[in-house]
Structure 1
Amino acid sequence: MATVTRTGTAQRNAPRPRADAVRNRERIVAAAREMFVEFGPEVPLDEIARRAGVGNATLYRHFPDRDELIRHVVVSVMSRTTDRADAATAEEADPFDALRRFVHAAADERIGALCPMLADGFDKEHPELLAERARLEHAVDGLMERARQAGRLRDDVAVGDLMVALSQLTRPLPGSACVNFDQFVHRHLQLFLDGLEAPARSVLPGSPATLEDLRRES
């Protein structure tokens, strides 16, 4: 019992990060997210520091190496995307409207840009990453199941189908500097969403893509 008390006291007395340190960390993650989308995950770290408005030493104090920074960016994007899914679920009365809102929100979060970051050497089994991935998958599965139960989503699609489409349609080519890329992303996503609505206008080849299918391929 005494040990628990000492542990609890130590946690309460642990110094909180200074507000400026928290702001710097958030600015670094935001800048890294932008530059990874634009130029790929190999962009020089000093360029990320420059865009974030901090010195190199500040960046390395928060993120000792590139892999740790990439992991924090991936987790941040997943977390923000899950929050958008939860908000759509809570605020939209029509389940398909909630799904549509989420898909466009996920595009705005640049979720497709995560794929190039998950290259060889990236720790895909890190506990923080696994926890955030599970939270995202649960939220998206819930969105689709509600739409399906309401008769608004065709029966022959699964979460994997949606995630593949999001990945492919929201992933700009690094360094392409595609002008007005967003307007094309949302147009094409809307075409895809129209194809998800029930009743289905055609029979899809193959079988629905599950998350387990995607993991077997990776």
Structure 2
Amino acid sequence: MSITADTAAGTAPTRRAPRPRADALRNRERIVTAAREMFVEFGPQVPLDEIARRAGVGNATLYRNFPERADLVQEVVLSVMARTTDRAAEAAAEESDTFEALRRFTHAAADERIGALCPMLDGAFDRDHPELCAAREGLEEAVQGLVDRAQEAGRLRTDVGVGDLMVAVSQLTRPLPGTACVNMDRFVHRHLQLFLDGLEAPARSVLPGSAATLEDLRRDSRIE
């Protein structure tokens, strides 16, 4: 019989936490996906029972994974940030033209419906949670890299900043009052393209004010 170091020392052996089963992980992912879709369609106060129904799981499964609404909202925010960061990395790696990389990312970010999800950021979850901070920093770094490279290559006008880009994406993907979110899809990419044409160098006009940074947005608008 083998004796572990813990046993020899007279202490209880360390037990590793069991890894979640594959079906449990799939259920969790289905819940997050359904929540993201329904938050976009109906807002952050959509009944959790409806989210469970769309995800195809029981209420007990949803509450076992996310005991509080804030837990689910935070997980959706993390998911959207991670997906958007991935889109930025893909654009940077696969597009040789730096402005085309920025254009590709902007349209991909719009597909994540960042603007429609913005009301969730007013929720009661911990904005300074380490996971949220790390995800936010990763996203900001990825987008800043796209902007910096496009400006260094002379493809993006120099009087704009990452904040300008993210404000446009947020505003253009946020439904108008009294308008169903799904009906905005036919306008979003059309109007984003018009906006992107205005970002391309050489600049055709002089912009009032100064370039918006992400820090400006956090300080003045509470958009994080």
Q: TM-score scaled by structure 2?
A: 0.89
- CA shift, 1:174, in A, is 8.1
Matched, 1:201 2:204: yes
1:41-75 Cα shifts (integer Å, max 9, x gaps): 00000000000011110000000010000000000
Counterparts of 2:194 and 2:138, CA distance in 1? 27
2:161 to 158, 169, 173: 158
Q: Which residue of 2 aligns with 1:30?
A: 33
1:100-150 Cα shifts (integer Å, max 9, x gaps): 000000011112223100115232111111100000000000000000000
Matched, 1:53 2:59: no
Question: Is the partner of 1:123 in helix, strand or coil?
Answer: coil
State which drifts further: 110-119 or 33-42.
Answer: 110-119
The one-letter code matched in structure 1 to 2:201 is: A
1:132 to 135, 144, 148: 135
Residues 1:71 and 1:120: Cα distance change in structure 2 (over 3 Å) = closer
The one-letter code matched in structure 2 to 1:61 is: R
1:104 to 97, 103, 107: 107
Question: Is the partner of 2:71 in helix, strand or coil?
Answer: helix
Q: Which residue of 2 aligns with 1:183?
A: 186
Counterparts of 2:176 and 2:29, CA distance in 1? 25
> RMSD between aligned alpha carbons?
1.8
- CA shift, 1:23, in A, is 0.4
Matched, 1:78 2:81: yes
Counterparts of 2:50 and 2:120, CA distance in 1? 17
Unaligned regions of 5+ residues in structure 2, if any? 7-12
Q: Identity of paired residues, percent? A: 77
Whether the aligned pair in 1 keeps the contact of 2:41 and 2:181 (CA below 8 Å) is: no
- CA shift, 1:176, in A, is 3.5
- CA shift, 1:183, in A, is 2.0
Report how many aligned residue pairs link the two structures: 211
State which drifts further: 122-131 or 183-192.
Answer: 122-131
Q: Which residue of 2 aligns with 1:6?
A: none
State which drifts further: 40-49 or 180-189.
Answer: 180-189
Q: Which residue of 1 aligns with 2:122?
A: 119
Whether the aligned pair in 1 keeps the contact of 2:70 and 2:123 (CA below 8 Å) is: no
Counterparts of 2:179 and 2:211, CA distance in 1? 32
State which drifts further: 179-188 or 58-67.
Answer: 179-188
Unaligned regions of 5+ residues in structure 1, if any? 4-8
Q: Which residue of 2 aligns with 1:170?
A: 173
Residues 1:84 and 1:44: Cα distance change in structure 2 (over 3 Å) = same
